[in-house]
Amino acid sequence: MKKPIATPSRTKEILETHGMFAKKNYGQNFLIESGIVDKIARHAVLSDHCVVFEIGPGIGALTQYLCEYAKKVVSFEIDERLPDVLADTLQEYDNFELVMSDFLEIDLKEWCRTYRKEGYDVVIAANLPYYITTPILFKIFESKADVAAITVMMQKEVADRFAAEVNTKDYNALSIITQYRCEVTPVMKVPKNVFLPKPNVDSAVLQFRFRDTPQNIEEESFFSLVKACFRQRRKTILNNYGEYCQDKQQARAELEKSGIDCTRRAESVTLAEFINLYEVHRNESKSTCEN
């Protein structure tokens, strides 16, 4: 590597050379601490036989380190100003490919299949803007693409919800739905003063790895049940679940059969307990239909 991009002086030099500024509507904040970028890249690239799909390379600060450690880096970008910038900042790397496409619109499963057929592991890395964090992650989760790991930086308060443990203030339906699909591992906290321009909030890096999910769960129904139980957070699970069932007595019976005390709140219910409740509800509904 000739010179790290993620320093205050180099970042300012690149922006001035190319007459660029950070676009708020793209959520652009450029990392200016190379040690942090290096750590993110080392976590993201599982081996030197990885192909990395990067979402939004910016001026190439993270991309540069990904190129150092991975077999190939394919970066998806929508900002039309950046091809010329990246051709300059990443000119020393022949394992970098820029794709000018909206990541939300690509066929991720097909992209993964292409590289998996060649024997490569595929990982995803990104510094995600707040406004698009959840849509991008859910696109990846719902694609069921053959991705070995997803390592992303996001606003810290959003990261806290994805990684939240039961009986904490951040634990909600998003926590359950994400942890049903993935193992979620906090990698590091990133203070707001290592960005240019400086955002209003701190960030955090999480890594997601897909779990083997139960084959007998209809996910849309399960997620609807979980969301319903968190609908009014201060209500007991009986009140929320009763509204979901449209029958409080039925809800009470199913909760009791699941071993969940009706006076508890959803934030105290584990993923395993929610799965058990879903299975009880499904079996009771099936039994009612048959009778």
- Per-residue pLDDT, averaged over 31-36, amounts to 97
d(CA 141, CA 41): 21
Strands (E), 88-181: 96-99, 121-127, 149-155
Residue 26 has pLDDT above 90, yes or no: no
Domains in the chain, ordered, with CATH? Answer: 6-208 (3.40.50.150), 217-288 (1.10.8.100)
Is 167 known as a binding-site position? no
What pTM did the predictor assign?
A: 0.93
- What's the full length of the chain, in residues? 291
- CB 221 within 8 Å of CB 286: no
Establish whether 271 is an annotated binding residue.
Answer: no
- Ligand-binding annotation for 19, yes or no, is no
Please list, in sequence order, all residues whose beta carbon lies within 8 angstroms of the beta carbon of residue 158, skipping any fewer than 6 positions away.
130, 133, 134
Residue 27 is predicted with a pLDDT of 56
- The 10s digit of each residue's pLDDT in 196-217 is 989 999 999 999 999 999 889 9
- Is 29 marked within a binding site? yes
The secondary structure element, H or E, covering residue 180 is: helix 173-181
Question: Is 102 marked as a binding-site residue?
Answer: yes
Whether 92 contacts 2, CB under 8 Å: yes
Q: Is the pLDDT assigned to residue 93 strictly greater than 80? A: yes
107 annotated as ligand-binding: no
